[in-house]
Amino acid sequence: MKQLAIASLLGIASAVLFGLAFPPTGWAPLAWVALAPFFVALRRVRLGQALFVTWLWCVVAAYVIGDWFPRSVANYFGQSMAVSLALFVGVFTLMAGPYYMAFAAAYRVLARHYGLLLPFLAGAAWTVAELGRGRLFTATPFFIGNPWGLVGYSQTDLLPVVQIASITGIYGVSFALGCVNAAIAELWMAIPNAERSTRRALAGLALAILPALGIVVYGVAVLRGADANEASAPTTRVAIVQGNLGLGSRWSSDYYGKNLDVYLQLTHAASTEGDPEIVFWPESAMTFFVEDEPLYRKAIARVLSHDGVELVTGGPRTVGDPPLFFNSIYVLGEDGEVSGRYDKEYLIPFSEYFPLGIDVLRRRFGRIRYFEAGDAVAPLLTRAGLAGVVICNESMFPEIVAERVAQGAAYLVNPSNDSWISDGKYTEQQFDIAVMRAIEQRRFLVRASTAGPSAVVDPWGRVQVRTKSLARDLVLGEIRPLEGLSVYGRVGDLFAFSCLAAVAAGLIVAGVRPATR
């Protein structure tokens, strides 16, 4: 029990350090050492105890990163804090725990059979766990992936470190972090032992640092040439309007259409302040069914035609009888008519739909109770070229964004509704995820959020302009439509699947030869 207690304390300390690497603290360097205590803990106890420590690490790390979750559930679903905390533990036990437990079991086996190669295999195993979290159940009827809090996202502000994502995706960053942490754990384990073991662990650490050094060298070189590559494309002036309206006024049927004046006033102010060609509003900016409301379209047209702008905006859509509802993004011309539409494909369970009919949502949002998933459509044609739209949480999935670019998207648009959580910690983390998608695909990204941050991000992850968080605001910027595919856009998650192959091979070899450690 003493060993279990020590291992549990190491796991908790690791989880806290891990969480502090993410916003709002954003101590990114911590991620390079935060996992080492956890890795050591896994080696000091039996398998069953190691799985418990892994679960404990998972829940604590999730809370340090996402303590906004239970508060938001209590507010949004109208539940008590006790129920919200129980749901939080259940979600991360189910949607993260199994993957990290599989990592723990594999890591323990690999540690008994490999020496200098162990940090690389451990980094690969960690990458596979994150890949499973993000992709294994995405778009199934009852489940979606949960790629939240992947360790690579902690490095988003360190631009030289994350440029490798254009080749490997986010998983290349996670691999480098996993290698270094595993090598530090080896050194930790070796220091009390023989001098020879310590020297070997130091040699392993030196080798494990090489991928990180290579990543930084590559990133520095890429950023030096970024401006020359960017300047060759024509520019389009854009404005982003951030209304920061409360959840109640957004969804109550008593406020049907009443928020339109806020967005129209901000749009006119943007046109007065600058000369945008396109104005972007967030997800759910329109609280009415624009295709069924000619008078509202006429009011929008008066502003758009006067200011000479095109509008990309979010709002609900209804079809059929009984009605089906969709969470949609529209392109409206100067005449206020709809010229393009995208219906969200990947919905959030229990928020936008109820798996198996399980309705725990106590709030009543007027006419809309849940949404239907939309069908795949081509990128939307705008004045800046084809726009690849990913609504809110869809930006969490690299494969979805890659699909948009493969279909011809010249830039990315991420309209988001962050008002229902209304927590700066959440919005900053979600923003970092969206920034990584711009780097992976080498595309400009326009993020239009209800509560912020809204921003224009260039293809190298550099934030050109951004709004204040949790404030009514607007920004003016420029985007450039780009062509061609990044390496990641061509090969997808080949690197992560290569890690899977390496770990599988390592485990197979370990199974047919005696342990050496």
3-class secondary structure, 415: strand
pLDDT of 139 strictly over 80: no
In this model, does residue 365 exceed pLDDT 60?
no
With a cut of 60, say whether residue 364 has pLDDT above it. no
Q: Which of 14-28, 256-270, 410-424 is predicted most confidently?
A: 14-28
Residue owning tokens 């992936």: 145
Helical (H) or strand (E) element with 237? strand 236-242
CA–CA dist 8, 52 (Å, integer):
8
**Measured distance CA(349)–CA(243) in Å, rounded:** 26
Cβ–Cβ < 8 Å for 152, 177: yes
Percent of all residues in the chain with a pLDDT value above 90, rounded to a whole number? 67
pLDDT digits (tens, 9 = 90+) for 489-511: 999 999 999 999 999 999 999 88
Using alpha carbons, list the distances in angstroms from residue 62 to 70, 71, 131, 199.
11, 14, 17, 35
Instruction: State how far the Cα of 356 lies from the Cα of 346, in Å rounded to an integer.
Output: 16
Q: Greater confidence, 512 or 130?
A: 130
Torsion of CA 146, 147, 148, 149, to 10 degrees: 140
430 pLDDT band, cuts 50/70/90, is very high
Predicted TM-score (pTM) of the model is: 0.93
Reported as half-sphere exposure (CB side, CA atoms, 13 A), residue 207 has a value of 18
Cα 382 from Cα 311, distance rounded (Å): 9
Distance of CA 94 to the CA centre of its chain: 19
Distance CA 401, CA 439 (A): 11
Whole-number pLDDT of residue 374: 85
Confidence band for 371, pLDDT divided at 50, 70 and 90? confident
Mean pLDDT calculated for residue range 365-385: 81
Q: Give yes or no for residue 354 having a pLDDT over 70.
A: no
Q: Is the pLDDT of residue 340 over 90?
A: yes
- Per-residue pLDDT, averaged over 471-479, amounts to 95
So what's the pLDDT on residue 366? 47
Residue 370 has pLDDT above 80, yes or no: no
Q: Averaged over 345-368, what is the pLDDT?
A: 63
Mean pLDDT of 445-468: 95
Radius of gyration of the chain (CA): 24
The model's confidence at residue 231, banded by pLDDT at 50, 70 and 90, is: low
Cα 295 to Cα 260: distance, rounded to the nearest angstrom:
12
Is a pLDDT exceeding 80 seen at residue 173?
yes
Task: Provide the CB-side half-sphere exposure for 197 (13 A, CA).
Answer: 11
Question: pLDDT tens-digit profile of 36-72?
Answer: 999 999 999 999 999 999 999 999 999 999 998 888 8
Assess whether pLDDT exceeds 50 at residue 20: yes
Question: For residue 234, is pLDDT > 60?
Answer: yes
Of the listed ranges 52-56, 84-88, 226-230, 279-283, the least confidently predicted one is 226-230
Strands 385-389 and 411-416, sheet pairing:
parallel
> Cβ(418)–Cβ(371) under 8 Å?
no
Q: What is the pLDDT of residue 257?
A: 67
Residue 237 confidence (pLDDT): 97
Give the pLDDT confidence score for residue 511 in this predicted structure: 82
Residues 87-95 have a mean pLDDT of: 87
Supply the pLDDT for residue 1: 80
Q: Where are the domains of the chain?
A: 2-226+493-512, 234-481
Three-class SS state of 311: strand
d(CA 340, CA 287): 18
Mean of the pLDDT values across residues 227-251? 76
Q: What is the mean pLDDT of the chain?
A: 89
Give the pLDDT band of residue 140 (cuts 50, 70, 90).
low
The answer, yes or no, to whether residue 349 has pLDDT greater than 80, is no
**What pLDDT score does 40 carry?**
96
- Give pLDDT, residue 26: 92
For residue range 242-260, list pLDDT tens digits in order.
998 865 444 556 666 668 9
Q: State the pLDDT at residue 510.
A: 87
Q: How far apart are CA 235 and CA 21, in angstroms?
A: 35
Higher per-residue pLDDT: 227 or 212: 212
Helix (H, G, I), strand (E, B) or coil at 219: helix
3-state secondary structure of 313: strand
Helix (H, G, I), strand (E, B) or coil at 478: strand
Say if residues 109 and 120 touch (Cβ distance below 8 Å).
no
The pLDDT value given to residue 372? 83
Q: Tell me: pLDDT of 360 over 60.
A: no
Q: With respect to CATH, is domain 234-481 assigned 3.60.110.10? A: yes
CB 443 within 8 A of CB 410: yes
